[in-house]
Amino acid sequence: MADRPRSGPGRGWLLRLVIAFAFAQGAVSMARPAVSYRALALGADATAVGVIAGVYALLPLFVAVPLGRRTDHGRCAPLLPLGVLLISGGCALSGLVSSLPAMAAWSGVMGLGHLCFVIGAQSIVARQSAPDEQDRNFGHFTIGASLGQLIGPIAAGALISADSGALGRTSALALLVSAGVCAVALASLWRIEHRRATGSGPAPGDKVPVRAILGARGVPAGILISMAVLSATDILTAYLPVVGEHRSIAPATVGLLLSLRAAATIACRLVMTPLLRLLGRRALLTTSCLLAGFLCAGVALPVSVPVLAVMLAVLGFCLGVGQPLSMTTVVRAAPDGARSTALALRLTGNRLGQVAAPAAAGLIAGAVGVAAPFVLLGVGLLGAAGLGLRGEGRTGSAIASEPDEAGSGPAPARGVAGPASVPAPEDAGPASVPAPEDAGPAPVPAPEDARHA
């Protein structure tokens, strides 16, 4: 009988991972608006800001799948300190250079570091979580991202001056501080990965083709939903400062608004288990994406700051659903031996959205106005609501009727598709599909996104 993946002696590893992720994501969330303000101080227009935001995701497009292959057949933990070092270096050098192309390049290094950290961390959560812990552990893991998104913009807003004459200097200071914040994450990166959970995957030569992974029912829907949700979070972070400049909203207020959205996302993830029991996975995904779509489009309206704050709070709550549930959807649908690669493909989709969405937003903002990109985001989220219905359609009835909290029963050997043979985990997830995104040592399923947001 195969060993059942478990969280080891307690869940200290998960707490340390959440703390490290909070610092790493906090640094990124602090740096992203600081990059936008520094670009504006250097003479960038709305289109240039969109291009720089897109470069952040460009390098990860080319390395996500190779990194996923590597973690399918080896250890995940080495990616975490590597990611921290790349994020810190990208933040610091973005604040030191004084040309827009150099800022774009170092922003890309920052994005590469974030990708390394997230692939390694998500793979560890998937590999070391039992089937009935998937949604809970991924939800708690993404709380780390939300904590970073809560604190980072507030810190950036406090450091960046509203005085246009000092904007270049204060935004550079915010970037240097964000580099130091990220470095603190190194203090929590100890004894996170269990030795017994590594090196037991398939041989490196036994690679599951990417086409087969993408052909597994549930994987494309999970990737596209994640892409839409992360693109919304990303453009909110990068473009709300631009909207604030046009509406004469101070940088400190913009930082508070972004942090309010992140706080609402944390609240959502803390109550996700009862929400899943109440509504089921498909209804929760669809409803949250639908409401988020309308609220994103509403940001384009010239509303007062208090009304905007309420809209962003509700929007943040809705956006909190998509990332953890899309992770477990992809993990359970992926074939054995390719769960880290499937997660990497999901992150590749995220980064593709982070390249295309800001670039499209920049073009639209330059041609129509700075609020127009939020309408584009609203349309994308409405499409994600439809994917939530179609992507879960094959197991929808099982989801709705199985709010079981147990994960007993024999686990299937593969997680590509097929009727449920295992009762759903406590979050009423789609019951039949297997193991963690990282293809952990056991054949049973086990379970991350964050973006940058």
Domain span at 348:
12-190+218-401
Find the mean pLDDT for residues 271-276. Answer: 84
> Taking 80 as the threshold, does the pLDDT of residue 401 lie above it?
no
Any domain includes 226: yes
Find the mean pLDDT for residues 112-139. Answer: 82
Greatest mean pLDDT among 33-37, 142-146, 198-202, 382-386 lies in 33-37
Any domain includes 407: no
> Taking 50 as the threshold, does the pLDDT of residue 126 lie above it?
yes
Least confident of 45-59, 110-124, 357-371: 357-371
Any domain includes 451: no
Greatest mean pLDDT among 103-117, 331-345, 407-421 lies in 103-117
Res 429: pLDDT: 38
Any domain includes 352: yes
Any domain includes 206: no
Any domain includes 411: no
Any domain includes 121: yes
Q: Please count the structural domains in the chain.
A: 1
Res 109: pLDDT: 92
Q: How confident is the model at residue 44 (pLDDT cuts 50, 70, 90)?
A: confident
How does pLDDT run across 169-212, given as a tens digit for each residue? 898 999 999 999 999 999 988 888 776 544 444 444 567 777 77
Find the mean pLDDT for residues 219-236. Answer: 82
> Taking 50 as the threshold, does the pLDDT of residue 431 lie above it?
no
How does pLDDT run across 403-429, given as a tens digit for each residue? 333 333 333 333 333 333 333 333 333
Least confident of 70-79, 309-318, 356-365: 356-365
How does pLDDT run across 94-103, given as a tens digit for each residue? 989 888 999 9
Res 131: pLDDT: 67
How does pLDDT run across 286-307, given as a tens digit for each residue? 888 889 888 888 887 888 889 9
Find the mean pLDDT for residues 78-106. Answer: 91
Find the mean pLDDT for residues 384-408. Answer: 46
Any domain includes 200: no
Res 86: pLDDT: 95
> Taking 70 as the threshold, does the pLDDT of residue 350 lie above it?
yes
Res 210: pLDDT: 76
How does pLDDT run across 24-34, given as a tens digit for each residue? 999 998 998 89
> Taking 80 as the threshold, does the pLDDT of residue 430 lie above it?
no
Res 196: pLDDT: 52
> Taking 70 as the threshold, does the pLDDT of residue 281 lie above it?
yes
Least confident of 374-378, 382-386, 427-431: 427-431
Q: How confident is the model at residue 7 (pLDDT cuts 50, 70, 90)?
A: very low
Which CATH number fits the domain that encloses residue 387?
1.20.1250.20
Res 207: pLDDT: 73
Find the mean pLDDT for residues 376-402. Answer: 59
Q: How confident is the model at residue 88 (pLDDT cuts 50, 70, 90)?
A: very high
For the chain, the first-to-last Cα distance in angstroms comes to 41
Find the mean pLDDT for residues 247-273. Answer: 85
Least confident of 144-148, 186-190, 213-217: 213-217
